[in-house]
């Protein structure tokens, strides 16, 4: 693995990239080698929750399923927050049961996500994907035990440079999510911001991968 793409919606099938492809339970694609699977808060349909959780639980027991998610909370959508919290907590319970990390989608709900992590005493790694906020929030998330993944906003927003530079090297990942740029472009900018050569950055992310996803993958 030269490059690890922590979160993407596009499977590119390149041999030098390990992609953690986001999958939805009802649109599962068995040809994708490594994936996360979860109920995104945007796509919660009350009538389908039990079936989707059943599919997620089945997939979590396979080697190719590296994580649960993306799942989480989003205060900028119309789906009631109480329902979002219920669905999120059920997925976290599965993550704990099968010892899988969690890819977190969080919009304007960081306090709630942190409170749930503490309340449920979550022991598996939780990774906030697509981080775009300020240094104070990043520091608090790190202190509360989260990992943080950067991608789209790192490329789009120069103000994130100093935020990213201050993230401890053992607590971050890189991703493409839905952008057209490839993971190499994200690595290139990240290595420039961190003042590292590409090989050192690859070693750091490889080490973080082993820490979060285990030695066996």
Contacts of 46 (CB under 8 A, 6+ apart): 83
Known binder of ligand: residue 40?
A: no
Report CA 74 to chain centroid distance, whole Å. 15
Q: Write phi, then psi, for 175 (nearest 5 degrees).
A: -150, 165
Can you give the length of the chain in residues?
Answer: 217
Spatial distance between the Cα atoms of 208 and 171, rounded to a whole number of angstroms: 7
Known binder of ligand: residue 74?
A: no
CA diameter of the chain = 50
Residue with tokens 């049961």: 97
Known binder of ligand: residue 9?
A: no
Contacts of 164 (CB under 8 A, 6+ apart): 150, 154, 172, 190, 193, 194
Spatial distance between the Cα atoms of 198 and 12, rounded to a whole number of angstroms: 21
Tell me how crowded residue 159 is: count the other CB atoms within 10 A of its CB: 10
Known binder of ligand: residue 180?
A: no
Binding site: residue ranges?
Answer: 70, 105, 129, 177
Residue ranges for the binding site for a divalent metal cation? 70, 105, 129, 177
């Amino acid at each position: 693995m030269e490059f690890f793409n922590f979160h993407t919606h596009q499977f590119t099938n390149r041999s030098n990239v390990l992609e953690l492809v986001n999958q939805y339970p009802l649109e599962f694609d068995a040809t994708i080698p490594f994936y996360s699977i979860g109920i995104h808060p945007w796509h919660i349909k009350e009538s389908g929750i039990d079936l989707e959780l059943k599919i997620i639980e089945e997939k979590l027991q396979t080697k190719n399923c590296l994580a649960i998610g993306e799942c989480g909370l989003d205060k900028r959508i119309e789906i009631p927050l109480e329902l979002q919290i219920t669905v999120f907590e059920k997925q976290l319970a599965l993550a704990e049961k099968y010892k899988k990390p969690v890819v977190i989608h969080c919009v304007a709900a960081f306090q709630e996500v942190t409170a749930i992590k503490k309340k449920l005493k979550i022991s598996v790694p939780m990774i906030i994907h697509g981080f775009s906020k300020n240094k104070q929030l990043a520091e608090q998330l790190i202190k509360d035990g989260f990992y943080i993944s950067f991608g789209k906003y790192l490329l789009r927003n120069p103000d994130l440079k100093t935020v990213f530079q201050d993230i401890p090297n053992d607590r971050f990942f890189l991703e493409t999510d839905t952008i057209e740029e490839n993971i190499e472009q994200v690595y290139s900018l990240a290595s420039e911001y961190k003042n590292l050569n590409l090989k050192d950055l690859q070693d750091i992310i490889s080490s973080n991968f082993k820490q979060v996803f285990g030695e066996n993958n």
